[in-house]
Chains A and B, each alone.
Chain A
């Protein structure tokens, strides 16, 4: 797992497929390690959906109309068509 994080120190983004290839392992092995690191607070999943909307964007008609709980679909596409995969960032590793 150290090797995985050390690889990322060069600042270059990598896909899970690339990590699996560089670490000579499988994507499911990378997947379980990411899950662990995320649970331990070492990496964090980046929110790509409108669910990060607090429902209070000034001037946003969607929020103004009282749709605060369901997120700001007018600003950011809702999950229905969001096909952006997953992204993680390292937040606590020295």
Chain B
């Protein structure tokens, strides 16, 4: 050994290596990069009892497998023989986990000692650790230590000196007994000659080969004859080596810690709420009920903004009168009243619902309930041929289908991704939730709740049918593994963060909706306006021509035009209705309104007068299950990169919405 002792600090991220390194070296340190890598290299020196120590802070890594640059650098450094002793750090507060690096190090012949860092945290957690037991089991110096306690470094120096003097190596005999139970381990180990990789024992190399470590396999290929490497390959392929090796290491860690750690026993019990949500029988009804209650409750926070919208609508008459008295041209008054004021009146009423739905669902998520929703519906996803994680794009789609489409990028399988997006389109988005409750309330009063329930049930049926239709071409049958979920604890909401998010979403929606509504509303209003006195507007002529067909779907031509507009953005549908039923000189409504015709001035009454309940129901279903919007269409193409499938989905939804409208219209005729 050289006069200057070189120490390598080895540990997982957050094991306290940097704190220890800085405390030991102070200003005598150098920071750079490892040759050819962007990984930071820190080295320095210190002296103790007249001896100089060079110290290298190896990159933090989970293990010594060659899965990352950090791990390869660490292994190469140890194999280079430059370290005289390796200081392994582990987190005392979670030894069962953090001793994995020690288990992975066992079998390396470079002397080492173990520092159980963060002893203070372990104490706070009520853990009593007997280092003597661990030291006896490992055969190397072990200390309980807190790197941030600069007065308590003497045990560290003593352990270091002992490791250097004794050249202590981890006793891996009991670990090897665990490895021996893995099919092929003994055979591979026998084939590995000593010194194949400097500093690494045949035991270590054999287990890494079974773990399919690419660097070790390459070394074996170059160091052994082809017959042996073929045998090793056949063993590797016959077992899940990484799984079994991991299991063996954890079993060894448990045996090392046996009798060394006293802590409170964990109590595995579900909270009362989780006992309901995770119940096989009651879980789904409970979750569906929670969502329904959430939707109903979202009406409450919607009320203030809806009031603002109604207030804006009430401005139409006085502003109209003032404009007439000021001598404004009729067309300008019509634009201001029927397009601008009316649009903003609806925009604010819609925003009320967007605010309400976002607030309630944001709250459910913040509390931790949405995670339970994901869990409950994981199995349902499987029945649709999807992975459990597809539920996330669906949940996001309740807010925005575009977000749902973007969220599908976590799904690697292209077919599943396309199907996920196709099904996400069936989920009514925030814009639909801003239009549907309002229309439902207008036409059906308290029965609006039943309409919403019917929409949710139709959504589920729609998704099931769509999965059957598209799934045949998109999904290949493969083994499906269940998801593993770590449920977040229920906690009180952070109201500030929640409100920031909700207001941000509402503002974003306001900007987007205003653009869509004003543009769509203006275009349709212009098409519906008679610029030549006594002639019919263009839209009226087109509408009357197609109405015999649109009537089949329960939609008169004006509602059908609004349906077409909803393909651009569902927010636009109400604007179009507003323009067509209440606008310009169409039906003389505007002039009636301006002359005090209360019926024509009030769109709600106009709709109730001109649209029957079956037609209203048909329209609600048509726009809810129509394609979400052009932006969602673009996002879908962006994710799936297929014009054919994007077009297929869009056409399917457009036609599907009309079929659904026809069905509910005829059911409506039977009821009313």
Residue numbers of A with Cβ under 8 A of B are 1-2, 5, 7-21, 26-29, 31-37, 39-43, 46-48, 52-54, 56-62, 72-78, 80-90, 93-94
Contact = CB atoms under 8 A, between A and B. Distances in A.
Interface of B is mostly: helix
A25 B88 CA distance: 27
Given A26-B268, A58-B635, A76-B407, A2 B243 contact: yes
Contacts of B635: 57-60
A58 B240 CA distance: 43
Interface of B: 62-63, 65, 67, 94, 96-97, 100, 211, 240, 242-244, 246-247, 250, 266, 268, 270, 278, 362, 365-368, 370-371, 374-375, 378-379, 382, 387-389, 392, 396, 399-400, 402-403, 406-407, 409-410, 479-488, 491, 493-494, 497-498, 500-501, 504-505, 508, 511-512, 630-631, 634-635, 638
Contacts of B498: 81
Contact of A36 (B100, B374, B483): B100
Contact of B100 (A11, A32, A73): A32
Given A31-B97, A40-B211, A86 B485 contact: yes
A94 to B, nearest CB: 7
A59 B402 contact: yes
A43 to B, nearest CB: 7
B431 to A, nearest CB: 13
Given A81-B501, A82-B365, A94-B240, A74 B508 contact: yes
A77 B378 CA distance: 21
Nearest to B68: A39
A90 B375 CA distance: 16
Contacts of B493: 81
Contacts of A9: 479, 481
Contact of A90 (B365, B392, B481, B505): B481
12 contacts: A1-B250, A5-B243, A11-B379, A12-B379, A46-B389, A58-B634, A59-B402, A75-B407, A76-B396, A83-B370, A85-B368, A85-B488
B404 to A, nearest CB: 8
A58 B641 CA distance: 13
A15 B488 CA distance: 10
Contacts of B278: 15, 18
A83 B479 contact: no
A34 to B, nearest CB: 7
Contacts of B407: 52, 75-76
Contact of B371 (A1, A2, A84): A84
A85 B371 contact: yes
A42 B244 CA distance: 12
Contacts of B485: 13-16, 85-88
B368 A83 contact: yes
A26 B263 CA distance: 13
Contacts of A89: 387-389, 481, 483-484
B406 A75 contact: yes
Contacts of A17: 268, 270, 487
A81 B365 contact: yes
A90 B481 CA distance: 6
A15 B375 CA distance: 8
Given A61-B511, A76-B407, A81-B497, A86 B479 contact: no
B268 A27 contact: yes
Given A26-B268, A47-B410, 8 more contacts: A2-B244, A8-B482, A14-B483, A36-B62, A36-B63, A84-B365, A84-B374, A85-B368
Given A11-B379, A83-B491, A33 B250 contact: yes
Nearest to A29: B96
A94 B421 CA distance: 28
A81 B483 contact: no
B276 to A, nearest CB: 14
